[in-house]
Amino acid sequence: MKLIEARNQFRTSLKGLHTVAECDYYFKMILSSLLDIDPISIALEPNLNLQSSQQSKLKSVLEDLLTEKPLQYILGEVPFRKLNLKVNSSVLIPRPETEELVGWILEDYTKLNHKVELIDLGTGSGCIALSLKKEQSFFSVYALDIDQPILDLVQQNAEENKLEINCIKGDINDLHKLKLKVEVIVSNPPYITPQEKEEIKNNVLNFEPYQALFVPQDNPLLYYQKILEYAEESLQSKGRIYFEINPLFESEMEALIFSFDYYTITKRLDIFGKIRMLRLEKK
């Protein structure tokens, strides 16, 4: 099979699920990540003959994509800001909105010249914690998650990107057990309610970890409440909390935050024009 024929096969097979542009993007990612072929070869060497092993890999990937399995899980990696991170089905796939949250924090601490202790609660792949450490070396970063296999993945990502952070096994529901004073708290906790399932695409709903996406229908701000309770004692004076939130609960979030009577709130829109991020500054 020639390279251009393989590309056209991808377009034809996936046309019911993806646009041509998406198919081409996926194909280029597969070429570079799995087949060690420069994507520019599609234009320069369209008649390049693929080896049988390469064809076999392409066939396997295509079969996975037809089940709507996310490409990031198929490849086992994802780019995030200045990092390349390993991912698997135990962690969420990092989103562009979360890159924006990281960018906001870095803007606020761009002129940092002393050590600042920061904790990422519910770290998942470690995308937030590791990016902050990568781009601001004065951050002393702690990354918390509930399962050891998740933390093992974070540690792998840290080692492969030559970064040092402190991984902590813990539950956001039991943060009172965490004896750690910090100047910055950041979290992108689960915030989708079961009622929103109908709006979620199959590639997310069927493959990404349920516990990292959903909160109880009757308590959608559960994890924010727990984090704010932790911050009462553990966030230093003038410290900051950065949250990624569900825009549907913006007003409820504001009411919850003001019930603690400690904070000023700054809001920021995401790339889609929705209020997705909050910065809380402790008085």
Tally the domains of the chain. Answer: 2
Contact 260, 235 (CB under 8 A): no
| β-bridge pairing 139-145 and 166-169 | parallel
Q: Is the dihedral of CA 271, 187, 195, 96 positive or negative?
A: positive
Please tell me the predicted confidence (pLDDT) of residue 244. Answer: 97
Note if the pTM is more than 0.75: yes
Residue 215 resides in a domain: yes
Residue 76 resides in a domain: no
| Residue 98 shares a structural domain with residue 23 | no
| Residue 13 shares a structural domain with residue 127 | no
Residues constituting the chain: 283
Domain residues for the domain of 103 are 88-282
End-to-end CA distance of the chain: 65
| Residue 17 shares a structural domain with residue 153 | no
CATH, residue 228? 3.40.50.150
| Residue 102 shares a structural domain with residue 176 | yes
Is the confidence at residue 75, as pLDDT, over 90?
Answer: yes
Is the confidence at residue 13, as pLDDT, over 90?
Answer: yes
| Residue 134 shares a structural domain with residue 208 | yes
Is the confidence at residue 261, as pLDDT, over 90?
Answer: no
Residue 30 resides in a domain: yes
Is the confidence at residue 283, as pLDDT, over 90?
Answer: no
| Residue 57 shares a structural domain with residue 107 | no
| C-alpha to C-alpha distances, 101 to 58, 127, 219, nearest whole angstrom | 35, 11, 24
Please tell me the predicted confidence (pLDDT) of residue 262. Answer: 86
Residue 80 resides in a domain: no
Q: What is the dihedral of CA 220, 242, 187, 268, to 10 degrees?
A: 60
Among candidates 92, 97, 96, which has minimal Cα distance to 277?
Answer: 97
| Residue 125 shares a structural domain with residue 182 | yes
Please tell me the predicted confidence (pLDDT) of residue 53. Answer: 94
| Residue 254 shares a structural domain with residue 173 | yes
Residue 83 resides in a domain: no
Contact 204, 213 (CB under 8 A): yes
Rounded to whole angstroms, the Cα distance separating 182 from 212 reads 24
Instruction: Please give the helix or strand (H or E) that residue 147 lies within, else none.
Output: none
Q: Read off the pLDDT of residues 239-257 as tens digits, 9 standing for 90 and up.
A: 999 999 999 999 999 999 9
Residue 163 resides in a domain: yes
Backbone angles phi, psi at 88, to 5 degrees: -145, 180
| Residue 278 shares a structural domain with residue 183 | yes
Residue 258 resides in a domain: yes
| Residue 174 shares a structural domain with residue 255 | yes
